[in-house]
Amino acid sequence: MKKKLLILPIILFLTGCSNNKLNIETADNRQEVLKINHDYFEKNINEKKDFIILISLSTCLNCLKVKSILNDYIKEKNKLIYEIELNEYTSIDSSIFYYPIDHTPLLVFIKEGNVVDEKQKNLIDKDEVFNLLNSKIN
């Protein structure tokens, strides 16, 4: 009985240690976020890729601030981060709109084609954003 009880914590520990970090593509010396369209977004989802996407509006001041921080991160870490600007979409047929978007900027973390986390607030502090990204990316 004691052996069985010892095995349970080991199994729980190993399960908790599984790697939930994203395997993000390198940016190939890009200096800024890569603006993509809905089709490219869908393609990455269907191919079950890991990626980070900034959902923004071109007129949103906080979106511009976080975009600048993400550009600094890309330059420093050489990791690819995507962006979709919502004001470029006038129809609601896009699956990006099926995801609840309360306000922008919205940073969405996608692993194997599924949303695993998001961040909507406090994205204007560079250190905080860098720490967040470092905690999510391999």
Domain-located, residue 30: yes
Task: Give CA separation, 26 vs 1, 7, 10, in Å.
Answer: 49, 39, 35
**For residue range 5-64, what is the model confidence (pLDDT) as tens digits?**
444 444 444 444 456 799 988 888 889 999 998 889 999 999 999 999 999 999 999 999
Integer CA distances (angstroms), 30 to 40, 64, 69, 73, 100, in order: 18, 18, 14, 11, 29
Is 77 domain-assigned? yes
User: Is position 76 within any domain?
Assistant: yes
Instruction: Report which secondary-structure segment, H or E, holds 7.
Output: helix 2-16
The domain containing residue 45 runs over which residues? 21-136
Assess if residue 9 is contained within a domain.
no
Side chain identity, residue 92? I
Query: Would residue 90 count as lying in a domain?
Result: yes
Whether 94 has a pLDDT exceeding 70, the answer reads no
Mean pLDDT, residues 104-119: 93
Give the CATH number, domain containing residue 108: 3.40.30.10
Query: How many separate domains does the chain show?
Result: 1
Instruction: Kindly state whether residue 38 falls inside one of the protein's structural domains.
Output: yes
Average pLDDT, the chain: 83
Q: What is the rounded CA–CA span in Å between residue 96 and residue 42?
A: 9
Q: What is the pTM of this model?
A: 0.79
Share of the chain above pLDDT 70, in %: 78
User: Strand 106-111 vs strand 114-119: parallel, antiparallel, or unpaired?
Assistant: antiparallel
Q: How confident is the model at residue 122 (pLDDT cuts 50, 70, 90)?
A: confident
In a domain, 6, yes or no: no
